[in-house]
Amino acid sequence: MKWGLQLFIALLFLSTALPLWADVYKYLAPDGRVYYTDEPTHNKYKLIIKTKPKGYRLAFRHLKKNKKKYTPIILQAAQLHGVDPKLVHAVIQTESAYDAKAISSVGAVGLMQLMPATARQYGAVNRKDPKQNIFAGTRYLKYLLGLFDNNLELSLAAYNAGENAVKKYRNKIPPYPETQKYVKQVLSLYQVGKGS
């Protein structure tokens, strides 16, 4: 019995120490909802984070390099619009994993995955331009924070599912699993960023 307990504890320790690998795919539906999964059900899902061991180190270096590359722009945009730069980083990492060339199956583009109307409304003429994309996305995030009285969860839910979806559910996070997962992921990255 004692040996079984020791084996269980050892296996538990090993399972928490070993990394879990899963690619992350994203799908932006025509209604604006964003879906994330590690098991895509159709070919409109786009691979946004490759975490399998074969390319893990390369992908991590790429993400780290791009994060460093875009940090000065993020800081400028965050300062101009009065948004915590760590929050902008968390949104960008969740939306595109710092890939400025990211394009969703429904046409969201760039680091902050802007749709054409949102980009135009918040000042991005060229959504593929990292600076314009970050400035417009940050300005949009600032607008949402103001709209929802600085409620971070609702603002992030609106960034993901649209402000009308949040209003439809009486200023609560919509009951979409993807949106709920998105909010948790951004908040988790934001908390990690604040601790660094």
Domains located in the chain, CATH noted: 21-195 (1.10.530.10)
Spatial separation of the C-alpha atoms in residues 71 and 86, rounded to whole Å: 10
Which DSSP symbol is given to 136?
H
Which DSSP symbol is given to 33?
-
The residues of the chain scoring below 50 in pLDDT are 1-20, 54-56
Spatial separation of the C-alpha atoms in residues 164 and 127, rounded to whole Å: 23
Residue 2, pLDDT score: 44
Spatial separation of the C-alpha atoms in residues 10 and 181, rounded to whole Å: 31
Residue 196, pLDDT score: 60
Q: Which residues pair with 113 in a beta bridge?
A: none
| Catalytic annotation, residues | 95
Spatial separation of the C-alpha atoms in residues 99 and 84, rounded to whole Å: 21
Residue 20, pLDDT score: 45
Task: Quickly tell me which residue has 């939306």 as its tokens.
Answer: 95
Q: What is the pTM of this model?
A: 0.72
Residue 89, pLDDT score: 97
Each residue's pLDDT tens digit, 25-59: 788 888 877 777 777 888 888 877 665 554 445 55
Residue 18, pLDDT score: 37
Spatial separation of the C-alpha atoms in residues 196 and 190, rounded to whole Å: 10
